A and B are shown apart, each in its own frame.
Chain A
Amino acid sequence: MSGLKDSFRFGIRNIRKRPYRSFCLMLAAVIGSYALFVGLSLKSSLNNGLGRMKERMGADLMIVPEESEIKARNILLTGEPEFFYMNASVAKAAEDIEGVESATSQFYFTSLSSDCCSTRVQLIAFDPDTDFVIAPWIDEKVTSGAENGSVIIGSEVTPLANGKVKFFGSEYKVAGKLGETATGLDHSVFMTRDTMHDLLNDAKDKGYQFLNPEDDSSWVSTVLIRVNDGADITNIEKEIYKKANGIRFIETDKLLSDVSVKLGSVESIINITLTVLLVFSFLTMILFFSVIFHERKKEFAVLRILGTSSRRICLFSLTEGITIGAAGGVAGLILGVLTVFPFNRFIENSLDVPYLMPAVSLVILYGVLGVILTTLFGSVSSFLSTLSLSHAETYYTMRAGE
């Protein structure tokens, strides 16, 4: 029989024969692996979310009605359905201003969580002729294009079993689904203004009036502006202020910077917690192995008496360390998976920052990394604990064990 095979068998027997001791050691490994997997997944999801948000924002500037900035931020960041309006003339105010490359308006309203509607989501009407924010995503994901009478749904919106969505009693064909944006827009449904007009009429018929459908073309919720490279945004805002009243600006860079700051704080907390837990896991394993092996001095002395070399004794305990570290690592990974995936939405809502799970391959890598790390913890701590004992003279270790 090979030495490695024997070492493994003997190590396993020792682990099984002392279940409580093995459980405590394994728990330290579970904590390490769990912390690493959850911590790295969270960090990656946050960075991924911010990256995707930057990529998808499209506009450099948003014009919203006075006192609606928070509502607009909510739509973008959390997907909380909101509605607010201002006169459509604001869209005209953004035209012909130096530095403005393109401008488009959107109209926000909401569905309801009652029998009339599939679910309560943000409804967004856009102008396909001037749009530069939605269209790029649709081109990527939609096969049949955005048509009147059909809608585009965000990545988190689930259609009915027949593939349609229902708002205010009428069903609408889903022309396509967008990719994840890590923003509130994932929970939104997009349509042309003509489709919006039909929806507002249906809403009015059901007794829900956002504004008079006969007059809806006079109102917009926001005007999105893309500026030329190097343009002075502050100057553009001043020029628009001269032409329109009762408005506020949300600068995308500022919004992203605010999110970055918040994300930085969350990331710092994750880093500190992760470091503390990993150090705790490693030190606990060293301490446990050291105490346990000290108690097992006599056993090591017996092994020496029976003709086991010091190297072989290290191999025996290394097997125990590796097995416990790996088993604890796998258990921690399973716990981590059971935390990160089912509570994905809860974590997203709790953190209140863009959150987008990384690719499966990266998640698998984090899991493997966690198991490797705790296996390493187990092997290093068992090896260090054995090293001192295997060099001690057997006579003394024998006496100490008695």
Chain B
Amino acid sequence: MAFLKAARLVKEYERRGKSFRAVDDIEFAIDKGEFVMIEGESGSGKTTFLNLLTGLTDPTSGDVTIDGKTLKDISDKDISKIRNEKIKYIPQGESLLSALTVRENILFPFTIGGTKRPSEERLLEVAEKLGITELLDEYPSELSGGEMRRATIARAVINRPSLIIADEPTGSLDQANTSKVMDIFKNIAEEGTAVIVVTHQKETLGYASKVYSMSEGKLTENS
């Protein structure tokens, strides 16, 4: 059974009195160790789809099942626990907490979940790979866009989660850092984590084992 499965997933919104489907009847599944990339134009429904997969948005119809648990059947507390322990979501834009240092931001999910923190060696290893070792004690306001992005990625990958979902993770990164990040995702997928990356950058599609296209709320697998 797939680690994550979406069945007949629909999300409807209303705009100017008319309803439209941001996500239109999607069937999707990913297993541990798979590296899936989704491409598509802005407004095609990619972010809504990711929010549905992580339980941040409730679907109009259809189900999302993660590790055998259907999200609509479990409480907010349990969905939050799944997001905290099994899924790491890297949203678009800045998502570091401004009151915390980079180090505290990276370790914050463990504070929330009350789970065992990774070792200092693991923290430094990830920070080294992403080139943020010198920034660990800085506050987000002191970082550039690219540095913040790398810190966010460090927060996602540090505990080798079951699933990483990243929305435009390399959007504000240069070529060298983009390659670094994609290598990290590829490596972590090889270690058994399921990875879903949404991107505009066609040159990164080669890292994935499967590529999907999204258009007007519909998801199709590229051949």
**Which residues of A line the B interface, CB within 8 A?**
1, 3, 6, 10, 13-14, 16-18, 298-299, 301-312, 393-395, 398, 402
When distances are taken between beta carbons in the complex, the residues of chain B under 8 Å from A393 are 51, 56-58
When distances are taken between beta carbons in the complex, the residues of chain B under 8 Å from A18 are 99
Within the assembled complex, what's the spacing in Å between the Cα atoms of A14 and B56?
Answer: 24
Per-position binary interface string of chain B over residues 89-115, scored 1 when its CB falls under 8 Å from any chain A CB and 0 otherwise: 101111111111000000011011110
Quick check: B114 and A307 within 8 Å, CB to CB? no
Q: What's the nearest-Cβ distance from chain A to residue B60, in Å?
A: 12
Closest residue of A by beta carbon distance from B81? A307
When distances are taken between beta carbons in the complex, the residues of chain A under 8 Å from B69 are none
Quick check: B48 and A395 within 8 Å, CB to CB? yes
Quick check: B114 and A312 within 8 Å, CB to CB? no
When distances are taken between beta carbons in the complex, the residues of chain A under 8 Å from B111 are 1, 6, 10
Q: What's the nearest-Cβ distance from chain A to residue B23, in Å?
A: 11
When distances are taken between beta carbons in the complex, the residues of chain A under 8 Å from B213 are none
Give the contact-size bracket for chain B: 20 to 34
Q: What's the nearest-Cβ distance from chain B to residue A202, in Å?
A: 75
When distances are taken between beta carbons in the complex, the residues of chain B under 8 Å from A306 are 83-84, 108-109, 112, 155
Within the assembled complex, what's the spacing in Å between the Cα atoms of A317 and B220?
Answer: 42
Within the assembled complex, what's the spacing in Å between the Cα atoms of A6 and B112?
Answer: 8
Main secondary structure of the interface of A (DSSP, over half): helix
When distances are taken between beta carbons in the complex, the residues of chain A under 8 Å from B85 are 307
Quick check: A308 and B99 within 8 Å, CB to CB? no
Q: Does B18 contact A (CB under 8 A)?
A: no
Q: Which of B91, B95, B112 meets A312, CB within 8 Å?
A: B112
Quick check: A307 and B112 within 8 Å, CB to CB? yes
CB within 8 Å of A: which B53-83 residues? 54, 56-58, 76-77, 80-83
When distances are taken between beta carbons in the complex, the residues of chain A under 8 Å from B100 are 13
Known contacts A302-B97, A307-B81; 13 additional CB pairs below 8 A are A6-B111, A299-B97, A303-B112, A307-B80, A307-B109, A311-B76, A311-B77, A394-B51, A395-B47, A395-B51, A398-B93, A402-B92, A402-B93
Quick check: A302 and B95 within 8 Å, CB to CB? yes
